[in-house]
Amino acid sequence: MKMNNNPINWYPGHMAQAKKIIQEELKNIDIVYELVDARIPFSSKIKDIDNIIKNKTKLLIMTKRDLCDIKETNKWVKYYENKGYNVLLVDLKMGEVQKIITLTHELAKDIQEKRIMKGLNKKEINALVIGIPNVGKSTLINKLSGKMKANVENRPGVTKSITYIKTNSGITILDTPGILWPKLDNREIALNIAATGGIKSEILNIDEVCVHILNILSSYYPNILQDRYGVDSNLDVLEMYEVIGKKIGAYKNNEIIYEKVSLKVYNDITKENIKGVTFDRWK
């Protein structure tokens, strides 16, 4: 297994362009939907979000509730609420988008009343959808619009343009590509994002990501480690690879095929075969 401590850099041109266009369009935006992955509610939060959206009304939407450790993630919900955020923890697959629609209209009430006072009619609420790759932006937009308006794939970098999309709920959505800061210099944050599919696998050290996942499972979710792989949490990482390798047949000439084991563990997280895990721990 090859390990390294080099920073992960992934900042395609469409992301840089997205920031520029967002700043240009901000004058037309009433509310900002910032999406984060409930498994990594700290790691997936955009580092300089307030510099991008200024003082716009914000709704922090924690997606993938069905995949997280609810008890641990709820600590982060309270953390953000204590910082003044409007927070919703949702499973977009289960039709919980109505919670977002209802709260959006509540938050935009003052904006609409000011328009009426100025002699203007109520109008569509313009909502900006922003977040790092693979946090569910396209899923949210499709649920709001009732149609497949945005590409939905469980991999980063699918949405590459900015588009206004009308819905049937009095909300117009401005969709954006996923945005990451230029250099992920915090290794733990980078690995959390990588483990949950927010960074293209082609640029990852897949062994390092797998070790990170196994360490999280061993430290906080030993029952998942045992049930999924038959691995005792007291084993060291190489011993874990040995057990998993034997279980999935990742052997050649009596040696472990490390990459095959790493891909298995990585895919189990990104393909949502493992649930009930939150990587960001409340300290």
Question: What does 134-183 look like in DSSP terms, one character per residue?
Answer: TSSHHHHHHHHHSS--S---SSTT---S-EEEE-SSSEEEEE------SE
Tokens linked to 28:
């037309």
For residues 157 and 250, give the distance between their C-alpha atoms in angstroms, rounded to a whole number: 30
Identify whether 188 is part of a domain.
no
3-state secondary structure of 129: strand
Query: Does residue 162 share a domain with residue 37?
Result: yes
Per-residue pLDDT at 105 = 92
Return the beta strands (E) in the chain as ranges.
8-9, 31-37, 57-63, 86-89, 125-130, 163-166, 171-175, 183-184, 251-252, 255-256
Query: Does residue 229 share a domain with residue 104?
Result: no
For residues 197 and 39, give the distance between their C-alpha atoms in angstroms, rounded to a whole number: 11
Choose the final residue of a domain: 159, 175, 191.
175
Query: Does residue 259 share a domain with residue 157?
Result: no
Query: Does residue 164 share a domain with residue 235?
Result: no
In the chain, the N- to C-terminal Cα span, in Å, equals 30
CA 47 to chain centre: 13
Query: Does residue 126 share a domain with residue 252?
Result: no
Per-residue pLDDT at 205 = 87
CA 187 to chain centre: 17
Of 75, 81, 11, the closest CA to residue 38 belongs to: 75
- CATH number of 265's domain: 1.10.1580.10
Choose the final residue of a domain: 175, 191, 215.
175
Per-residue pLDDT 10s for the chain (283 aa) are 555 555 555 555 556 666 777 778 888 899 999 999 999 999 999 887 888 888 889 999 999 999 999 999 999 999 999 999 999 999 998 878 999 999 999 998 887 787 777 777 667 899 999 888 889 988 898 898 876 454 434 434 444 456 788 888 889 998 776 676 655 678 898 899 999 998 876 777 899 999 999 999 999 999 999 999 999 999 999 999 999 999 999 988 889 999 999 999 999 999 999 999 999 998 7
Residue type, 239: E
For residues 177 and 224, give the distance between their C-alpha atoms in angstroms, rounded to a whole number: 33
Query: Does residue 246 share a domain with residue 144?
Result: no
Q: Say if residues 53 and 33 touch (Cβ distance below 8 Å).
A: no
Choose the final residue of a domain: 122, 154, 175.
175
Q: Global pTM?
A: 0.87
What's the alpha-carbon Rg for the chain, to the nearest Å? 20
Identify whether 166 is part of a domain.
yes
Query: Does residue 237 share a domain with residue 124?
Result: no
Q: Say if residues 240 and 231 touch (Cβ distance below 8 Å).
A: yes
251-252 and 255-256 beta bridge pairing:
antiparallel
Query: Does residue 150 share a domain with residue 70?
Result: yes
- Residues ≥6 apart with Cβ < 8 Å to 132: 36, 44, 46, 156, 178, 179, 180, 193, 198
- Report the number of distinct structural domains present in the chain: 2
Identify whether 193 is part of a domain.
no
CA distances from 19 to 13, 22, 35 (A): 10, 5, 16
DSSP state of 67: G
Tokens linked to 45:
């939060």
Residue type, 243: V
Instruction: Give the CA dihedral 18, 22, 24, 28, nearest 10 degrees.
Output: 150
Identify whether 192 is part of a domain.
no
Query: Does residue 218 share a domain with residue 109?
Result: no
Structural domain for 161, as ranges: 8-175
